[in-house]
Amino acid sequence: MEGSKTTRKSCDFCYRRKIKCDRQKPHCSHCITYNLDCTFTAPSRKPGPKKRQNSANIEGGTSNTQGHMRQLEAIIQQLIDRLELAEEKSDVQSLPQSDGATETTTTTLSTIVTKQDDNGVSKSMILPPREHALPVIQIYLKDFNTVLPLFDAKTLLHLVHNCYNVGPAQRNPVAWAAINIVLALAQRYTLVDCHNVPSPAECISRAESVLSTVVLGEIQLLNIQVLVGMVMLLQASQDLQPSLILIATTMRLAHAIGLHDCTYSAHLDTLHARQRAYVFWLAYILDKDLSMRSKQPSIQIDDDINLDLPSPAVVEYQIAGMSGINDTGNDTGIIATTDRTVKMNYFVTRIQLATIEGGVYDYLYSTRSQKRSPKERSHALQSVASALEQWKVSIPPEFSASVALMRVPYDVLRFLGELHSTTLACTTLINQAHAWDAKWVASIRRYGRQGIVPILPPKWEVLVHEARDLMVLLGTLGMTDCWNFWNTGCSYMTAMVLLTANSMHRPQHNKLALDSQLIEVGLQTLEKMVQETGSEMLKSFQATCAELYQHTQRRCDEAAIIANNVDYSSVFLDTNYGSEENGQSDGV
């Protein structure tokens, strides 16, 4: 019907966050929770006109795909621009919305001006001097790639030397992109003095400049490795859209060359077959993690994997004999304590946690879950909660957040920071005590304002201990830039809310001084991130946390006064009691 209009049912905030709005007047519950104006001014999404597919559309499929790739490049480039500005400690502007009906072109960074020919291949595939790049690549292979094995070390070094042995115009674009991805990962995940190599944002920009060739060219394992590395870098962002698009593309291409099925590798040597499995599992981890964080379904279906998907119920101190993941004598994925007396396969552990993340999404957000009966939902909750608890128990104590600071080298702590951040996210999502759970935050605010005690999640003390240990660990690692913050920021903010709620509920607990210090540092970190990003969402959350902390301080002060009065009264009564015993009651 022409001219018909549908009334949008969500306010602007709920509409943009894609959450259900209760349409309460004058403010919905979510706007009350985050102290926002409840408005209905944002335009609704207009569906495009339906078109019949004909032979012309099919013949033009290639050009349409290339157009979509250019749009993807534009989105990624916008994110890269933000990363570069963050590295220069300037204000980061919010990403503009991409209009699906308008063809956009990629704007490259001013520091590397590249033009693409008709095949989309960059004519300026420059690299930093070999003597500057090789040490960085070797550090990456030693400190990062041994734990999360994206590349085979010998194969990567051979690729690097081949690329340097020819001029920029003769270089393989996919190999050139792989080198840039490695340089960016080395700087993001390891402590590298990289004054002589391009910044991470510039390296990502260079790899992105040949994205069309990586995705639309002949698909080999190296293409998938480049895409997985790019997702690793882009996922640590407030805007998950580029990562979601890329991981979907990555998983489809991985299936195209059979990375998910060991039968496709039956004719290959052990080394090559094992590396194919490594790359697939890394993509799987990213797929499940982004799915849970974005509340969108993952691409990979677990039942469609023929690589002996590890069970989340059992994790050994050092797992061996797992088909396609770890062979006897192979230290890939292994992390160890400083004295190397205790080891754990971090790679396998992370895969198993990703499986649990998939279960969390299925229970909380999937359409299938909404169709289940209450009994079925209860069973699904028990199943995923039980798997998570068994997984936690299987982690050696030396790698827990509370003990790792004393037992584990600093370069390993970074991996554990991400591991325990994801663990807390799973736990709090299951227990509906996450920082972005509107009902949970609203209940804490009511407690502070009106004294209405909220319903605390099960095993509250354990949850608070996990939150405290995580904040201490992340505080040691530091969150000095936007990239580090967004990598673990949601769990960091969730932990801060948990500690605040606990101090409000128990204002005289024995960890009050430490928790108050952690919360104050958290508020300072949020303020810094608000200044750097200009994020309205962070600004609103910071205001909510500051309000909750004020209520907590007031309750702690009141509890201290009451405790002091009780102590004074007890001393006074003891004195009276002693005086009566000595026959001196008349003198009191």
pLDDT in tens, the chain (588 residues): 444 445 677 888 888 777 778 888 888 877 877 778 888 886 665 555 544 444 444 344 444 545 556 666 666 666 556 555 655 544 433 333 333 333 333 333 333 333 344 444 444 899 999 999 999 999 999 999 999 999 999 999 999 999 999 999 999 999 999 999 999 999 888 666 667 899 888 999 999 999 999 999 899 999 999 999 999 999 888 888 899 999 999 999 999 999 999 999 999 998 999 999 999 999 999 999 999 999 999 999 998 999 875 433 333 333 333 344 444 346 789 999 999 999 999 999 999 999 999 999 999 888 888 888 888 888 988 999 999 999 999 999 999 999 999 999 998 999 999 999 999 999 999 999 999 899 999 999 999 999 888 889 988 999 999 999 999 999 988 866 677 788 888 999 999 999 999 999 999 899 999 999 999 999 999 998 898 888 888 999 999 999 999 999 998 888 888 877 655 444 444 444 444 444 433 332
Here the tokens at position 391 are: 């997984």
3-state SS record for 34-83:
CCCCCCCCCCCCCCCCCCCCCHHHHHCHHHHHHHHHHHHHHHHHHHHHHH
Helices 153-164 and 130-140: crossing angle in degrees, nearest 10, is 170
Q: How confident is the model at residue 76, as a pLDDT?
A: 63
Helix (H, G, I), strand (E, B) or coil at 254: helix
Q: Which amino acid, 510?
A: N
What is the Cα 240 distance to its own chain's centre?
9
DSSP state of 5: -
Res 290: pLDDT: 95
Are 16 and 41 in contact, with CB atoms under 8 Å apart?
no
Task: Give 144's DSSP letter.
Answer: I
Written as one letter, the residue type at 557 is D
pLDDT at position 577 is: 40
From CA 176, how far away is CA 13, in angstroms rounded?
Answer: 42
State residue 492's pLDDT score.
94
**What's residue 495's pLDDT?**
96
8-42: CATH number: 4.10.240.10
- Alpha-carbon gap, residue 495 to 501, rounded angstroms: 10
**Domain ranges in the chain?**
8-42, 120-394, 410-553
d(CA 394, CA 325): 18
